[in-house]
Structure 1
Amino acid sequence: MITCHVKYVIDPYQVAAFERYSRQWIGVVTRLGGYHHGYFLPAEGANNIAYCMFSFASLADYERYRQQSVQDAECVGLVEEATELKFIVSYERSFMRPVLE
């Protein structure tokens, strides 16, 4: 299993827009074969940092998801929305191997 951890710097005045976007991506990742662990939005402390984590059975499955997502109409629309509204300032992606019971 491979888990993608994403740290976002978001526009603190557009948290509601980022939350709408996040809720849609959870469904997209699930539909394209992954397991989404959720988004984590600012509550206390920094008001412009958010995180998400999602997993795929293998790195090959993640790569397949990436290839499918660039051709998926819903994915393309979400990326266009984020680009237009600019609620994501930047992000960094890390890949991890979970230790589970």
Structure 2
Amino acid sequence: MITCGLEYRIDWTKQAEFEAWCRMWLELIPEFGGVHHGHFLPSEGHSNVALGLFSFRSLAEYESYRIKAKSHPGALSADQYKAETGCVRSWDSRFFTPLFPSQNMPNWCLHTTGVSS
């Protein structure tokens, strides 16, 4: 299993637009076979940094998602919204191997990581 961690630099005056864009991806990632762990919006401290986390069974499945997203109507719509609103200024992505408590893991994650419930 692989988790993509995204760190966004956002326009703090467009937090509502950023949240709307995040909600689009919360629904899209499962369509591609992934699990979205949520977006984490600015609260205290830096007001222009947000995070997002989602997982796929493997790097190959993540790469497949990236290819499919280039022609998926929902993903294209989300990208257009992001460009039109300017809510995301930049982002960095990093990849991790997650370790979750078994009670919070989707069934396919239990099999992938070798954890039994």
The residue number in structure 1 matching 2:91 is 91
Which amino acid is 2:66 matched to? R
Q: What CA distance in whole angstroms lies between the structure 1 residues aligned with 2:100 and 2:50?
A: 24
Computing the radius of gyration from Cα coordinates, the structure with the larger value is 2
The residue number in structure 2 matching 1:81 is 81
**1:31-54 CA distance string (max 9 Å, x none):** 110000000001111111000000
List runs of 5+ in structure 2 lacking aligned partners: 102-117
* TM-score normalised to structure 1 length: 0.97
Q: How many residues align?
A: 101
Q: RMSD across aligned C-alpha pairs, in angstroms?
A: 0.8
Identity over the aligned pairs, expressed in percent?
Answer: 38
Q: What CA distance in whole angstroms lies between the structure 1 residues aligned with 2:70 and 2:26?
A: 16
For the residue of structure 2 that corresponds to 1:3, the secondary structure is: strand
For the residue of structure 2 that corresponds to 1:45, the secondary structure is: coil
Runs of 4+ displaced beyond 3 Å = none
Match runs of 1:22-101 below 5 Å: 22-101=22-101
Which amino acid is 2:13 matched to? Y
Which amino acid is 1:82 matched to? K
**1:3-40 CA distance string (max 9 Å, x none):** 00000000000000000110110110011100000000
For the residue of structure 1 that corresponds to 2:36, the secondary structure is: strand
For the residue of structure 1 that corresponds to 2:3, the secondary structure is: strand
Q: CA deviation at 1:99?
A: 2.0
Q: What CA distance in whole angstroms lies between the structure 2 residues aligned with 1:100 and 1:74?
A: 29
